[in-house]
Amino acid sequence: MEILNEISQQLQKGKAKIVKELVEQAVAEGIPVKSILDNGLLKGMGIIGEKFKNNEVFVPEVLVAARAMNMGAAVLKPLLADAGVESGGKVCLGTVKGDLHDIGKNLVKMMMEGKGLEVIDLGTDVPPDKFIETVRENNCRIIACSALLTTTMGVMQEVVDAAKNAGIRDEVKIMIGGAPITQAFCEQIGADSYTPDAATAAEVAADFCRIH
């Protein structure tokens, strides 16, 4: 669809205001929210990612594209929430220590809230102890960690160890995700779940909290 292509193009140029307006227009035209997300916003971000990898664009361009992505996603957020779903459990979510990538984490948050879960968003650069402290203070049932760097994914092992050391490992499910994460890594560090995308993460989290 032409408008989805336009969203992708404008996102790549970092035109946040235009992206927001185009997303609003796509919603008004009745295009499914998931399609706007996948074929507009995420498609554009994927192309920027490839260009970043190939040194065709640099950090400033990626940052403005990320801002456009977040503004477009914010329009979709209320539409992802299932009306009338009661809060079914608390999730403590963050990008791990040393890692500042938050676009995937923000999507996970949106999708989880759409499933009726209450998400405590700790932001980025979150040390293991902060996850544990938040679980204790808020009685969270899930710790959800995101990492985008191969140099920070090891912090997820520290989160699992910190939960064990704090004596709360049996009370909390630990979910992990992010581009470098795999099922094998999940098993290796003793986490409970790896999911490849935000929508699946929300489904698994809802299952852990036994709400559907």
d(CA 154, CA 145): 11
d(CA 38, CA 150): 25
193-194 and 118-121 as β-strands: parallel, antiparallel, unpaired?
Answer: unpaired
Q: Which is nearer to ligand B1M, 18 or 143 (CB)?
A: 143
Least Å distance, CB 72 to ligand B1M, is 12
Least Å distance, CB 60 to ligand B1M, is 8
Least Å distance, CB 46 to ligand B1M, is 6
Binding site for ligand B1M (CB under 6 A): 42, 45, 48-49, 52-53, 59, 62-63, 66, 98-105, 107-108, 144-146, 148-151, 175-180, 195, 197-198, 201
142-146 and 90-95 as β-strands: parallel, antiparallel, unpaired?
Answer: parallel
Q: Which is nearer to ligand B1M, 29 or 32 (CB)?
A: 32
Burial of 54 per CB tally in 10 Å (0-12, 13-18, 19+): exposed
Least Å distance, CB 101 to ligand B1M, is 4
